[in-house]
Amino acid sequence: MTAEPITSDVVVAIRRHMNEDHAEDSLLICRALGGVPDATAAEMVGMDAEGIDFAATVDGQSTAVRVAWSGRIVDRAQVRPEVVRLYHEACDTLGVARRGSDGDTHR
């Protein structure tokens, strides 16, 4: 398998997927791992090799949230498992049941 670097086009595609298909997961990640437990909504706004960025709504205001990866991400194939890991950690932290039989909502 050939490595696919994280270009701006890749970030746009990941952001679109996260915001269209996994907004609830983003909210859980922000609440549990992003320091905004009272957030009512979250949208992925970007990412880089070190972490993922969200705009979370807290008390009606947009709040920047950054969640670090467990390690440096340099290839597109690394993103999905890392986002799933963040989702699982968020669910465990908040005591929320994971969706899906294997807990993997990122298909």
DSSP state string for 8-19: HHHHHHHHHHHH
Res 2: pLDDT = 64
pLDDT tens for each residue of 14-37: 999 999 999 999 999 999 999 999
Query: Inter-axis angle of helices 8-21 and 23-33, to 10 degrees?
Result: 100
**H or E segment at 53?**
strand 51-58
Q: How many domains does the chain have?
A: 1
Residue 29 lies in a domain: yes
Residue 103 lies in a domain: no
Residue 99 lies in a domain: no
The residues that bridge with 47 in the sheet, in sequence order, are 52
pTM for this predicted structure: 0.89
CATH number at residue 29: 3.20.180.10
Structure tokens, 18: 């996260």
Pairwise CA distance, residues 83 & 90, whole Å: 10
Residue 107 lies in a domain: no
Residue 1 lies in a domain: no
Residue 79 lies in a domain: yes
Residue 89 lies in a domain: yes
Q: What is the pLDDT along the chain (107 residues), one digit of tens a residue?
A: 567 788 999 999 999 999 999 999 999 999 999 999 999 999 999 999 999 999 999 999 999 999 999 999 999 999 999 999 999 999 999 999 998 745 444 43
**89: containing domain:** 8-94
DSSP assignment letter at 97: P
